[in-house]
A = this chain, B = another copy of it.
Amino acid sequence: MGETRFVRHIALFRWKEGARPDPDKVARELAAIAEGTNALHFEAGPALGLGHPTYDFAVVADFATAEDYLAYREEPNHRSYVNDVLRPAAADVAAMQIASQVSGDSRDV
């Protein structure tokens, strides 16, 4: 296969003091929302605490196209979850998208 390119969305969250949501719950809820979109691969989870992580929680989601990512971003359940759950608890959010060589949604590993 030639070089396959995907859109990889990355969002890191640093929680406010005393506003630490349950990471497994957030991961489950976000994954359920992502299932209703064209996300090829979705994962989320807390920092493993190796060394000095500067953020607490990460989302990595892969999409075949920019349009699929933008549709995920604007999806009503996702929008309200970001506005009602994530943003109120986050002191900082570091988010961007890159062109990824391969989606994490492969099966042979």
Contact = CB atoms under 8 A, between A and B. Distances in A.
Interface of A: 1, 4, 7-8, 10, 12, 14, 41, 43-48, 50-51, 53-56, 58, 60, 66, 69-70, 73, 92-109
B48 A94 contact: no
Given A98-B47, A102-B41, A10 B7 contact: no
B109 A54 contact: no
A7 B48 CA distance: 8
Given A10-B60, A48-B98, 6 more contacts: A43-B101, A55-B95, A104-B104, A106-B108, A107-B108, A108-B108
Contacts of A14: 94
